[in-house]
A and B are shown apart, each in its own frame.
Chain A
């Protein structure tokens, strides 16, 4: 059987599993087991157990429950309300108003967290209820959150850039620096979209708060102080050299607990509710990650992704056509596999092609991250969609529809960095000399 038929068969199975209401993690496990049983001779159950253990006892992943817990604590304190009240008087003139908090909030949080799931869970936990209460349209709340949370992967630190850097022997420090400008560019593009949408759909954006005198504006901004302290504390602990980016998540939890203690919103009840909430959400994500890791290994055994990548290589395309083909390839694989898995499975086939075509591997790293960001918001397997479904109760298909414009913006960003590679390469070029 050829690789295309194998792929189609497994995808069909995945759709049947997911569509018939089987949990996402179980669907991934069952598809992976079937794929391995059909197309390889490896002992399934043993491989499953080994992979599950390797994927679940991970130091880097430990930041995830901590960041989610931080979000839960902030959600139960007054801090998220304070943040919106403090920002609201300043955003009255900007079309889209508080929707931009979602975008900028994700970008700021992305400077602390290396994953987009943690970004979506933490920011969304605070912003979704506040924005909903203030009457912003659901489509844009979900869309801006799903889209901007992907910045967690591009703005350093970034799990995916670490994976890419290790697999391709690129300097991780340079990759991190290379992600900064494209990250800011994406943030601006997202904000631009919200501005344009708001100007064309004025009726759907709630009315601004009555304009306040400047003094009152500043008085209200005092309520931002706790949030600023929290962000400064977390980022500061990294740059003061006392915490690694993973450690910083624990600093975040401790600071959030201290701040909500001073705000008198911390008691045994809210502490327990926050902790158990974080336990559930991180368990949900971890279980899907285990399923995704096993599917990745199963794909490795069947060899499907590398066969498809080899097929692209055999076409001998021009550099631009190659990038186009790879984009399509990554988007399609990214629908069904976790983006990081796609990188792990295919770099050793794709990178030689890319280098042969004369494409800078550092630049290609950022290209890959943006494509992986796209995979986070495409159904049926998109981690931001899962997180937002669990946060809001909205089905992933609906969240994916809301995120579609942001998918298009990511595509535009790919075009921009291809047309102007300096967006990626300018900062790393001035580094280290």
Chain B
């Protein structure tokens, strides 16, 4: 189970990374086409009009994909920002209480968010909503990244909650991930490239 979950988070992280690479590819391709048009204008006096249809819309969809798919992975890597001033000052047994509280509140919010983003996605499907640009993209398709990404985030937070109740610390709360615990944080950022 542990291995499956960790693989799930990691796989979602790489899907998100692929979306970012895809944004870069798509936009670069459009810039290349623009350059060809530019050269054509200089040589023949008229542009060809090479465009990737709806590339701005699609880029936006990919960004949403990257942002939502990466949620759980970023959580586990300690990437989401929190103000840990109080949490790191209190004695260890209170520390656990704080961590349980955070995982509970976060998990509840994530579940709520997952449910309503599913509703949004389902409504788009039901009414056949499409994007308004050159290409009519059925909106439920890009919108499905929200329930998927948030669903995995909810799993990750419940996973953290279970870990905490068992008496251990979740991945994001380990000293190596925790922020502002030691004076050497800056130096560490140099050493290990984080």
Contact = CB atoms under 8 A, between A and B. Distances in A.
A–B touching in complex (CB under 8 Å): yes
Contacts of A59: 56-57, 59-60
Interface string B104-133: 011001101101110110000000000000
Given A48-B116, A128-B189, A276 B56 contact: no
A258 to B, nearest CB: 11
Given A45-B116, A395-B83, A275 B21 contact: yes
A250 interface: yes
B171 interface: no
Interface in A221-275: 237, 240-243, 246-247, 249-251, 253-254, 273, 275
B113 A48 contact: yes
B138 interface: no
A348 interface: no
Nearest to B185: A393
A278 B20 contact: yes
B102 A276 contact: no
Contacts of A24: 80-83
B190 A21 contact: no
A169 interface: no
A241 B179 CA distance: 43
A287 to B, nearest CB: 6
A395 B83 CA distance: 7
Contacts of B67: 56, 282-283, 286-287, 290
Contact of B31 (A48, A75, A242): A242
Interface residues of B, number: 69
A359 to B, nearest CB: 35
Contacts of A251: 28, 31
Interface string A394-429: 111110000000000000000000000000000000
Contacts of A66: 20, 23-24, 27
B119 to A, nearest CB: 7
A286 B35 CA distance: 31
Classify chain A's interface size. 35 or more
Interface in B71-85: 71, 73-75, 77, 79-85
B152 interface: no
Interface string A341-382: 000000000000000000000000000000000000000100
A132 B68 CA distance: 33
Contacts of B102: 20-23
Interface in B53-72: 56-57, 59-64, 66-68, 70-71
Interface of B: 13-14, 16-17, 20-21, 23-24, 27-28, 30-31, 34-35, 38, 56-57, 59-64, 66-68, 70-71, 73-75, 77, 79-87, 98-99, 101-102, 105-106, 109-110, 112-113, 115-117, 119-120, 142-143, 146, 179-180, 185-190, 193-194
5 contacts: A52-B117, A242-B35, A280-B70, A389-B81, A395-B84
Interface of A: 17-26, 29-30, 33, 45-46, 48-50, 52-53, 56-59, 61-62, 65-66, 69, 75-76, 128-129, 132-133, 138, 237, 240-243, 246-247, 249-251, 253-254, 273, 275-284, 286-288, 290, 380, 386, 389-398
